[in-house]
Amino acid sequence: MFKQTYDSMNERLAPESRLVEDTLRRMADRRRGVRWVGPVKPRRFATAALALVLVLCISLTAAAAAVPGFRNMLLEAGKGLLGAPALAQAEKDGLLLEVLGTTNTEDALSVYFTLQDKEKENRLSGNMDVIARLKLNKEFPKVDNELLDGAMWYNRVLHYDAETQTALCRMDFDTNDTYDVEGAQVKLSLLAVTKTLQQEDYIPLDVSGAWTNPKTLPVYAQYIYGSANMEEPSGVRVWNSKGAEDFAVEEFRKQGADLLPQPVEETGDTDYRDGRLWSALKPAEGEELFAGSGLKITGIGFVNGKFCVQVYLPGRTEGTPYTQCTIVCAKAGEGQKTAEKIQALQEENPGSKELSDYYMFKSASSSFFELDEAGRPIAWPSYFGPKYEEYYFEISPEELDEYEFFAMTHTSQQAEEDIQAEFPLGEELPSNMAVYGPMQVGDVRVDKLEITPWGVFLSGPEADGANYKGIGGVDSLELVCGDTAVPFQRQENSGHFQTAWAQDGTGEVKEYYTLGSVEFAPAGGQRVQEASALRINGAERPLAAGSLWDTAGYEALWEQWVHITGVKATQEGVCLRGSRDLYDSVQSVSLVCGEEKLACTYDVSAGTSGSDTEEHWYQPEREFDAQNVTAVEINGVEIPKASFLPSCGYEALWQAGMDISEITIIDGGLRISGCDIHDEKIETVEILCSRKVVACEVDTGGIRVSSGYAWDKEWEAVEELHRKQSAIFSTEVPVKLSDVLGVRINNIVITAEGIGRSKY
């Protein structure tokens, strides 16, 4: 059934004729040597993919500002790491390109480079797009050779130092674990830089004067082909009664006014025109959306029963500012809020969320046309010329009061460059210097803190109501190095695209990237990778061995697409923490106790399921002692005990004879769960809060017992395996999990990371 629906869906999909024609025209342009720098067609807000992946960044701008010659610092870092100066240099027109080093992971080859405007003409910025090409001159398998020789249009600006006008950039080359790039000769070509100059997120439109019966014009089927900027068109194709007819430019200019091309006929692939001839609103003069933009609303009215907003887009010239625009429809009275949500989603969207979840907007589509010399609308406007864009919304005149409309604009400027640097792939930079986590710092949960030569990388879960904040709640971040705290500041626009791949449920829903050379942090020569503590929002967490989360072993699982982010073995069994597809991807689990190996089966009675992460429990075939466990084997991959999730003090409990596996803060107290809980062994229970210690009393309900079962992978074999116990302890004063620093049982402290929240 899936195949039939999928096939029928695909049969509906085909490139539209205008796309095919446009592509053929561009192919012809390319053969003539006309090169388009940047995206091959105008980008619009309205045409992005539904999966909106956004990241916030932290930068070392404060630290960088405190250190003169930040670029030199980076270069020093490069020297320190590579034992050599920059790999390659190239300079043109006062722009200096220096390649600092490379890293090569299984998926991508990354090249780090700096760009400096030596003329100090402000040609660079922190929010620019750098358009570059990377070529590897190496023999690869025939089919793939062309691919590695291709262009990568974008890369990310990691940091910009305004004082020296230097940008630190990273460019990734997708090798997808297929290519052995070792020894390759690399050529990095800088093609252009595009700076964001201005962004307007909410320009409300007055639609009260919308025409109910507007003048319309037929849009004619004609396009001009030739050079990309249309300065030298080589011909004109017109669809008329004879079919498609090509004219030389001169001839067309002679007859143009007399030629009567046919209006565009519908092919059924654009729904809003309902199979009729394409009619555009007759453009009015209009007023600028904002001064200097050149953008105008030139028509608002109903065409063929749909509400249409027509926008005039001025022509663009390379090297001058250009403004893009989109028109958004929101529920009446919610325009500002909607704009804020869009903005927030751009900055805060954790991983991938559909915008439609957040606000209402009517089905919309748009088309472009331009006016020819005779004032006739012509389909397929040129890329650089002035044109009109029409937005159509599925809204009738009667419904119009229910909605409001606003424009969002983005002004950027692109400058072409042509700088090339060539270098051999040699010694790589280390990609990680230290990894810590998971941990809770104040009221913020952090899954992983990575310190790299190029910055600090933070990932973590979404906020959970009042229980804890996600890393979106990080307002300030410092690394404590000896007596000095090195501050990091958030930087917008890192373009950290890898989060796009976090959709597959690794649990890392959001990432911050911090910038600057941590190898040469400014704080008295302290090396940040030797930081002793992480400070978030003023709360401090030691980065001691106890909180170190070693990833040894996990990588081998990730290579198998088994997304496990943590393992623990308690007296209750084996717990795997990971992504939503954990159940399917885990084929076998065994407990390793020295020489002995105990096969485990899935325990359906335990575990938790969240939107991004899950915890699954597995039961060994017979009783065991958690203290003797040396490793857990998953799908044949051994995760050593050193790589288990932090014990957070539980091991000390087990050694004291208390087989407690979970402590959970609940309403009015806490619950202690385990396999073999005896009243007499638990003498005192206290909750350690930031400003107080709250004593707990065992609840009158005492110890409760529930059964656990193991099911096989086919959900058939059922067997009672153990009897889980839990004891409720109550407090006289309410305690919030966010205040809890730990729980003390008989003077043994379980740290905050080891304390769960109520699942009920």
Partner 1 sequence: MEEEKRRQDEEIVARQGPRVYRLAFAQLRSKADAEDVFQEVFLRYVEKEPAFESQEHEKAWFLRVTLNCCRNVWRAPWHKRHVPLDESLPFETRDQWGLHQELLKLPPKYRVVLHLFYWEDLPAAEIGRITGAKPAAVRQQLKRARAMMKEILEEEGLQNV
Q: Which is nearer to partner 1, 75 or 128 (CB)?
A: 128
Q: Using only the alpha carbons of the chain, give its radius of gyration.
A: 31
Q: Which is nearer to partner 1, 355 or 433 (CB)?
A: 355
Amino acid code (one letter) for 72: N
How far apart are CB 236 and partner 1 at their closest, in Å?
15
- Answer yes or no: are the C-beta atoms of 299 and 327 closer than 8 Å: no
Which of 597, 588, 603, 673 is closest to 628 using CA atoms? 597
Locate the DSSP E strands across 42-81: 56-59
331 near partner 1, judged by CB under 8 A: no
55 near partner 1, judged by CB under 8 A: yes
**Between the CA of residue 289 and those of 317, 320, 332, what are the distances in Å?**
20, 18, 20
355 near partner 1, judged by CB under 8 A: yes
CA–CA distance, 380 with 372 (Å, rounded to integer)? 11
- Please identify, among the stretches 43-51, 254-262, 374-382, 734-742, the one whose residues bind partner 1 according to the rule CB under 8 A: 43-51
12 near partner 1, judged by CB under 8 A: yes
CA–CA distance, 273 with 263 (Å, rounded to integer)? 13
180 near partner 1, judged by CB under 8 A: no
How far apart are CB 307 and partner 1 at their closest, in Å?
13
- Please identify, among the stretches 13-21, 162-170, 655-663, 665-673, the one whose residues bind partner 1 according to the rule CB under 8 A: 13-21
Amino acid code (one letter) for 307: F
Q: Is the dihedral of CA 462, 468, 472, 474 positive or negative?
A: negative
**Among the listed residues 54, 191, 309, 479, the single contact to partner 1 using CB under 8 A:** 54
- Stretch 574-613: interaction string toward partner 1, x if CB under 8 A: ------xx--xx----------------------------
* Token duo for residue 503: 């959709």
**Among the listed residues 6, 180, 215, 397, the single contact to partner 1 using CB under 8 A:** 6
Q: Is the dihedral of CA 28, 31, 33, 37 positive or negative?
A: positive
CA–CA distance, 244 with 226 (Å, rounded to integer)? 17
**Among the listed residues 81, 82, 140, 153, the single contact to partner 1 using CB under 8 A:** 153
**Among the listed residues 98, 117, 172, 659, the single contact to partner 1 using CB under 8 A:** 172
* Token duo for residue 382: 């040129």
CA–CA distance, 718 with 409 (Å, rounded to integer)? 60
50 near partner 1, judged by CB under 8 A: yes
How far apart are CB 410 and partner 1 at their closest, in Å?
6
212 near partner 1, judged by CB under 8 A: no
Report 272-301 residues binding partner 1 (CB under 8 A): 272
CA–CA distance, 427 with 482 (Å, rounded to integer)? 31
- Please identify, among the stretches 361-369, 509-517, 550-558, 598-606, the one whose residues bind partner 1 according to the rule CB under 8 A: 361-369
How far apart are CB 706 and partner 1 at their closest, in Å?
27
How far apart are CB 37 and partner 1 at their closest, in Å?
12
Q: Which is nearer to partner 1, 154 or 423 (CB)?
A: 154
How far apart are CB 446 and partner 1 at their closest, in Å?
23
**Among the listed residues 37, 52, 181, 604, the single contact to partner 1 using CB under 8 A:** 52
- Answer yes or no: are the C-beta atoms of 377 and 371 closer than 8 Å: yes
**Among the listed residues 121, 206, 232, 271, the single contact to partner 1 using CB under 8 A:** 271
CA–CA distance, 174 with 608 (Å, rounded to integer)? 35
Q: Which is nearer to partner 1, 224 or 735 (CB)?
A: 224
- Please identify, among the stretches 309-317, 353-361, 397-405, 680-688, the one whose residues bind partner 1 according to the rule CB under 8 A: 353-361
* Token duo for residue 575: 């717990």
Binding-site size, partner 1 (CB under 8 A): 93
The H-assigned helical ranges of 601-686 are: 650-655
How far apart are CB 493 and partner 1 at their closest, in Å?
7
Residues with Cβ within 8 Å of 194's Cβ and at least 6 positions away in sequence, in order, are 38, 128, 129, 131, 412, 413, 414, 415
- Stretch 469-508: interaction string toward partner 1, x if CB under 8 A: ------------------------x-x-x--xx-xxx---
- Answer yes or no: are the C-beta atoms of 150 and 183 closer than 8 Å: no
Q: Which is nearer to partner 1, 484 or 588 (CB)?
A: 588
Report 120-149 residues binding partner 1 (CB under 8 A): 129, 143-144, 146-147, 149
244 near partner 1, judged by CB under 8 A: no
* Token duo for residue 648: 């957070």
**Among the listed residues 135, 156, 170, 722, the single contact to partner 1 using CB under 8 A:** 156
187 near partner 1, judged by CB under 8 A: no
- Please identify, among the stretches 363-371, 614-622, 689-697, 735-743, the one whose residues bind partner 1 according to the rule CB under 8 A: 363-371
**Between the CA of residue 92 and those of 171, 386, 451, 483, 682, what are the distances in Å?**
20, 32, 34, 44, 74
Q: What pairing do the DSSP bridges indicate for beta strands 510-513 and 56-59?
A: parallel
Q: Is the dihedral of CA 315, 318, 323, 328 positive or negative?
A: positive
Is residue 607 within a helix (H) or strand (E), and if so which, with residue range? strand 596-609
Q: Which residue has the tokens 């932290």?
A: 58
- Stretch 408-437: interaction string toward partner 1, x if CB under 8 A: x-x---------------------------
Burial 504-518 (b: 16+ CB within 10 A, else e): ebbbbbbbbbbbbbb
14 near partner 1, judged by CB under 8 A: yes
317 near partner 1, judged by CB under 8 A: no
